[in-house]
């Protein structure tokens, strides 16, 4: 397998713990540098990683000891960090969304192309057994020809649990850009790319009150739409109805349902790697569980990064690619534009449906070995 691939992490907030768990368990990679606006936090994390050193962001981006930059900053900083990595000839893999605007996202992809480096992006949860088993069922003809889907995410917002929820309500945040990538990436896995959208959106309040942590009682502004609904027309003609909300309380709807001529699939939460897939066939009155048949077993955040690195080695497209993230962002920004203008929006991007993930045990996908089939 050769020397481990060297990773530098920028941004050590809440999500970094999940990535660190996955990466430190993989012999395919080594974390050589970490950086955060909070230097003390970077030093603490580095002290727990035998090969890592705490660094400034600028030094990490320029370091000869980093092959790929893992960008875990807030959305507003995604483009800046990505360009910094690319300018130093490094691949970059980041948290979703790819950028806040399509102009920024296109700029990242164009810069990467000029520099002959690669871009990858979360979410990678759709590589787990939940979404991949549903995909295998669809591709195997379990529900016949897919004709429509529903995707539903309803919560009261993040201020009830997150100690610093500000950025969820600023440009680059909101329920669509925050949670939409999970649902839209899953819909692309299941039904393929999208060619047009129609959207509607609203905002319940102009400010929110933090109700957890040291800032309890503090009011924060809301500058984005907090309930977004829309219809996605897939390239093959299937129609997906998507709702993402920070204004509701809860829902009993399945996170995703795929409706076909011969049955309906209930797909588990795309924010998770695993979950039960259920199906009901035409003429039946009972749902039944679908046996796990595809995807990464016991996966966690960072699985997409490991696939991204393996794809570079194997000279194949990564499953959690920059092109997929660009298409997802195109869908989301088009939904918001449609909501504002009242027009149906034709998308300006497309993407190939990512390669399916075979059923892969945890030791195999974490090893990054060519024999794993991942």
CA dihedral 355, 360, 362, 363 (to 10 degrees): -110
Q: Give per-residue pLDDT as tens, 40-81.
A: 999 999 999 999 999 999 999 999 999 999 999 999 999 999
What is the spatial distance between Cα 365 and Cα 296, in angstroms, rounded to a whole number? 7
Specify the pLDDT at position 373.
Answer: 52
**Residue 340 resides in a domain:** no
Sequence-distant (≥ 6) Cβ neighbours of residue 116 within 8 angstroms: none
Specify the pLDDT at position 332.
Answer: 98
**Residue 335 resides in a domain:** no
If asked whether residues 271 and 141 sit together in one domain, one would say yes
The dihedral sign for the CA sequence 236, 264, 254, 200: positive
At residue 110, the 3 state secondary structure works out as helix
Q: Average per-residue pLDDT in the chain?
A: 96
**Residue 326 resides in a domain:** no
If asked whether residues 41 and 68 sit together in one domain, one would say yes
pLDDT-derived band at 100 (thresholds 50, 70, 90) equals: very high
At residue 337, the 3 state secondary structure works out as helix
Question: Is residue 370 scored above 70 in pLDDT?
Answer: no
Q: What is the CATH number of the domain that holds 251?
A: 3.30.360.10
The token pair at 1 is: 């397998």
**Residue 204 resides in a domain:** yes
Mean pLDDT value across residues 24-39: 97
Which range of residues forms the domain containing residue 64? 5-124+300-320+348-372
Specify the pLDDT at position 369.
Answer: 62
**Residue 339 resides in a domain:** no
**Residue 132 resides in a domain:** yes
Specify the pLDDT at position 372.
Answer: 54
If asked whether residues 275 and 129 sit together in one domain, one would say yes
First vs last Cα of the chain: how many Å apart?
A: 14
Q: Give per-residue pLDDT as tens, 240-290.
A: 999 999 999 999 999 999 999 999 999 999 999 999 999 999 999 999 999
Task: Report pTM.
Answer: 0.95
What is the spatial distance between Cα 344 and Cα 334, in angstroms, rounded to a whole number? 9
If asked whether residues 132 and 87 sit together in one domain, one would say no
If asked whether residues 159 and 187 sit together in one domain, one would say yes
Sequence-distant (≥ 6) Cβ neighbours of residue 170 within 8 angstroms: 76, 221, 223, 224
If asked whether residues 135 and 89 sit together in one domain, one would say no
Asked whether the beta carbons of 372 and 27 are under 8 A apart, the reply is no
If asked whether residues 191 and 206 sit together in one domain, one would say yes
If asked whether residues 172 and 281 sit together in one domain, one would say yes
Number of domains making up the chain:
2
**Residue 63 resides in a domain:** yes
Q: Give per-residue pLDDT as tens, 184-205.
A: 999 999 999 999 999 999 999 9
Specify the pLDDT at position 248.
Answer: 96
Specify the pLDDT at position 166.
Answer: 93
Cis before residue 97, ω within 30 degrees of 0? yes
The token pair at 134 is: 């549903």
Alpha carbon 302 to chain centroid distance? 11
Q: DSSP characters for 14-46? A: TTHHHHHHHHHT-TTEEEEEEE-SSHHHHHHHH
Specify the pLDDT at position 8.
Answer: 98
Q: What is the CATH number of the domain that holds 93?
A: 3.40.50.720
Specify the pLDDT at position 78.
Answer: 96
Specify the pLDDT at position 195.
Answer: 98
Q: Give per-residue pLDDT as tens, 301-321.
A: 999 999 999 999 999 999 999
Question: Is residue 172 scored above 90 in pLDDT?
Answer: no
What is the spatial distance between Cα 82 and Cα 338, in angstroms, rounded to a whole number? 28
**Residue 182 resides in a domain:** yes
Burial 26-49 (b: 16+ CB within 10 A, else e): bebbbbbbbbbeeeebbeebbeeb
If asked whether residues 216 and 82 sit together in one domain, one would say no
Share of the chain above pLDDT 70, in %: 98
């Amino acid at each position: 397998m050769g020397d481990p691939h060297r990773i530098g992490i920028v941004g050590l907030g809440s999500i970094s713990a999940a990535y660190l768990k996955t990466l430190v368990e993989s012999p395919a990679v080594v974390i050589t540098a970490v950086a955060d606006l909070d230097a003390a936090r970077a030093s603490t994390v580095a002290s727990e990683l035998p090969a890592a050193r705490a660094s400034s962001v600028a030094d990490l981006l320029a370091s000869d000891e980093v092959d790929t930059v893992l960008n875990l900053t807030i959305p507003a900083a995604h483009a800046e960090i990505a360009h910094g990595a690319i300018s130093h000839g490094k691949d970059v893999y980041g948290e979703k969304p790819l950028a806040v605007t399509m102009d920024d996202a296109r700029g990242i992809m164009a810069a990467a192309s000029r520099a002959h480096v690669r871009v990858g992006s979360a979410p990678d949860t759709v590589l787990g057994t939940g979404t991949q088993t549903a995909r295998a069922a669809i591709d195997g003809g379990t529900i016949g020809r897919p004709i429509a889907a529903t995707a539903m995410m309803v919560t009261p917002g993040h201020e009830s649990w997150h100690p610093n929820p500000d950025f969820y309500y600023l440009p680059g945040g909101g329920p669509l850009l925050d949670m939409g990538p999970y649902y839209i990436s899953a819909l692309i896995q299941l039904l393929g790319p999208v060619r047009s959208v129609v959207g509607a959106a609203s905002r319940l309040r102009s400010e929110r009150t933090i109700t957890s942590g040291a800032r309890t009682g503090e009011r924060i502004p809301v500058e984005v739409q907090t309930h977004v609904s829309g219809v996605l027309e897939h390239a093959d003609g299937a129609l997906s109805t998507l709702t993402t909300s920070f204004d509701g309380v809860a829902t009993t709807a399945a996170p995703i349902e795929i409706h076909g001529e011969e049955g309906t699939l209930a797909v588990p939460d795309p924010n998770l790697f695993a979950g039960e897939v259920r199906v009901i066939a035409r003429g039946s009155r009972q749902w039944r569980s679908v046996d796990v048949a595809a995807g990464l077993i016991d996966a966690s955040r960072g699985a997409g990064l490991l696939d991204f690195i393996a794809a570079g080695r194997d000279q194949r497209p990564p499953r959690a690619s920059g092109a997929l993230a660009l298409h997802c962002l195109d869908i989301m920004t088009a939904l918001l534009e449609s909501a504002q203008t009242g027009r149906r929006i034709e998308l300006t991007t497309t993407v190939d449906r990512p390669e399916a993930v075979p059923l892969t045990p945890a030791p195999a996908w974490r090893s990054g070995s060519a024999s794993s089939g991942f």
